[in-house]
Amino acid sequence: MFAEASLPGSDLEYYRVGYDFEHYWRPSFARWLVIKSEVSLGYGDSYGDTHKSQCFSYNYQGFPIPGSQDACGLPFFKNFYAGGPGSVRGFTTNTLGPTTIFGGFSQVQPLGGAVKTTGSFEFYFPRLLNGVQGSRLSAFVDYGYVFARPGEFEFNQFRITTGLALQWQSPMGPISISYAIPLDYEKCVGGPYPSCTSDDIERLQFTFGNQ
């Protein structure tokens, strides 16, 4: 758990809190199986004079949406991000949440947001790789999303993936390879500038030196 806040009277007055939880257990019906449940939560907002100011929301081209002014939230450099290894596997790192295409360029830019909710259920099968020391195979279900502002939180926006992962404690450090299949994701159809952007899917992911 962490908490962070700027001092009253600062140029930007904001606060952030976060909570990470992991729990492992062996079910009574299958003592050879290890189950992990994980949740990662993040919340932040502005206060004081910063919260009294009005900020725009932006469309997919990076332009302000008329009439979208609302109280300013977190500074952009303090936003939460989700997606990728260690978060919701099967999506490119940090791409779950608000995005934009600044100036009409084709490259989608993640913006992050003030509210993060991600989690995972993972099932480890240690006996399947008894012959390979320091390794384990698992099946997982990941879920979550990031929302721009606290009032925009909706469960139906959550992305969900499932897949398999292999972790190996190699002599050079921990290595993890996962293959995920998105079960719930966004796919938009339109012209060169659709009203939304498709999720950036990356099924095969590899990490080194990080566990």
Residue 14 domain flag = no
- Cα→Cα distances 5→9, 13, 19, 154, 188, Å: 12, 8, 15, 26, 37
Instruction: Give the predicted TM-score (pTM) of the model.
Output: 0.84
Q: What is the CATH number of the domain that holds 152?
A: 2.40.160.50
User: Based on the structure, what is the number of domains in the chain?
Assistant: 1
Question: Which residues constitute the domain of residue 152?
Answer: 20-38+83-208
Return the pLDDT at 40: 96
Q: What distance in Å separates the CA atoms of residue 35 and residue 45, rounded to the nearest whole number?
A: 34
Mean pLDDT by 10 residues, the chain (211 residues): 90 93 91 92 91 71 68 86 93 87 65 93 81 82 91 88 91 89 76 61 86 56
Residue 64 domain flag = no
Q: What distance in Å separates the CA atoms of residue 48 and residue 73, rounded to the nearest whole number?
A: 11
Contact 150, 71 (CB under 8 A): no
